[in-house]
A = this chain, B = another copy of it.
Amino acid sequence: MKRKSNYPALVLHGGAWDIPDDLVEAHFVGIRKALHIGWKILKNGGSSVDAVEKTITNMEDNPTFDAGKGSFLNALGEIELDASIMNGKTFRAGAVAAVKNIRNPISLARMIMDKSEHILLVGIGAIRFAKEHGITPCAMEDLLIGRELQRWLELQKEPLSSTKDVFRSQKKKNIPSGTVGVVAMDCNRNICAGTSTGGTPNKYPGRVGDSPLIGCGTYADNDIGGVSTTGWGEAMIKVVMAKTIIDIMEQSNGNGNVAAEKGIELLQKKASGYGGAITLNIYGEIGIAFNTPRMARGYITAGMKKPIIEV
C-alpha cells in the first residue's frame, strides 16, 4: 500500500514541563503565531530551512518562551543562549552555545551552517563570528524580562547549588521550561530541524545542555526524518536523544509517534530523564511524545484546514 504524503508539514514545541495554568494561554497564542509564520513560508514554496529559522526567531522574540528574549538567567545573572539547526538534505548543521548578547541565536546557528566549515561555535568565538558576518550584538536588557529577573532574585535567596535542586524547586513551583524547537518539511520534501533555548534557571556559567548538540537536541536526515527535543538537557545528552529517536524511526517503518514514545521511555529508563520530543518523517507525518505534566506543541500539514495546538 502506498503511503499518503502530507507535505509540506510543520511541527513545533515550546517546551515540556509543568507549565502553570496562568501561562497556558500565552503558550497557546505563541505557538499559533509561530505556526502561522512557518506555514506561510512552506505553503508559498519556501525552504524548510527558512521555515525553521523564521519560526524559531519568532518564538525567540516572544518572551513567553525560554529562548532569546525571556530566557532564564544563569547563576551569575547573565543570559547565555544555545541553538542548533540541521539541514536533512545536505547534512550540514550549525550551532551556538553559551553565547551572550545575541537576539536570535538560531539565525547565528544558521549563519555558521551556511558560511563556515564548522558546526559548533561557543562563547566569545561565536560572538566574533556574528560580528564578522554582520550580526550586531544586542544589550542584555534586550533579552531580559521582569519575570525572569524576579525568578533569578528569588533563586539567589535559596541555598541551592545544583540544577537538580533548581529543577526540584521548579517542580514544586510549577515553573515552565520553555525551550523551543521546530521540524519542517517543504514542498521539495527537504527536512530541517532546529532548537533554541536559554537553558535551565540558575545554570552554572558556560553550562551547555542538549539543545545546541546535533544528535541530542536536534537531528534531520532526509532519508528518515527530523527531531527536536526539550526537557532536562543532561539526561537527553546521556541517551543522545534526537539521534536515538531517528534510529528507532528508521527501524519502525518511519513511525515517528512510536519512535518518539520509545525514545522518551528510554530517556526515563536509562537516564531517569524527563522531557519531550517532536518528530516528522519522510511522509510528513507528525509524532509527539513527552513524560512531563505538559508540553506546548502544535502542527499543521498539507490537507489540514487548521493547525492542531495543545498545551
Residues of chain A having any CB pair with chain B under 8 Å: 80, 91-93, 97-98, 116-126, 128-129, 162-164, 203-209, 213-216, 219, 233-234, 237-238, 240, 243-244, 247, 270-271
Q: Which B residues lie within 8 Å of A270 (CB)?
A: 91
Copies of this polypeptide in the complex: 2
Q: Which B residues lie within 8 Å of A233 (CB)?
A: 119
Are B237 and A120 in contact (CB-based, < 8 A)? yes
Closest to A166 in B: B117
A207 in contact with B121 given A215-B215, A244-B243 (CB within 8 Å): yes
The 3 tightest CB contacts between A and B, nearest first, are A125-B206, A215-B240, A123-B123
A237 in contact with B206 given A216-B215, A243-B215, A244-B243 (CB within 8 Å): no
Closest to A91 in B: B238
Are B237 and A215 in contact (CB-based, < 8 A)? yes
- Measured in the bound complex, the distance between the Cα atoms of B119 and A237 in whole Å is 8
Are A204 and B240 in contact (CB-based, < 8 A)? no
Closest to A216 in B: B215
- Measured in the bound complex, the distance between the Cα atoms of B240 and A214 in whole Å is 7
CB distance from A207 to the nearest CB of B (A): 5
CB distance from A162 to the nearest CB of B (A): 4
Are B237 and A162 in contact (CB-based, < 8 A)? no
Selected from B93, B128, B237, the residue in CB contact (under 8 A) with A238 is B93
Are B118 and A207 in contact (CB-based, < 8 A)? yes
Closest to A251 in B: B251
Are B123 and A124 in contact (CB-based, < 8 A)? yes
- Looking at A116, A203, A233, the one whose CB has the most chain B CB atoms below 10 A away is A116
A-B contact pairs, 12 of them (CB 8 A): A93-B237, A97-B208, A118-B204, A119-B237, A120-B213, A120-B237, A129-B206, A214-B237, A215-B237, A215-B243, A219-B240, A240-B243
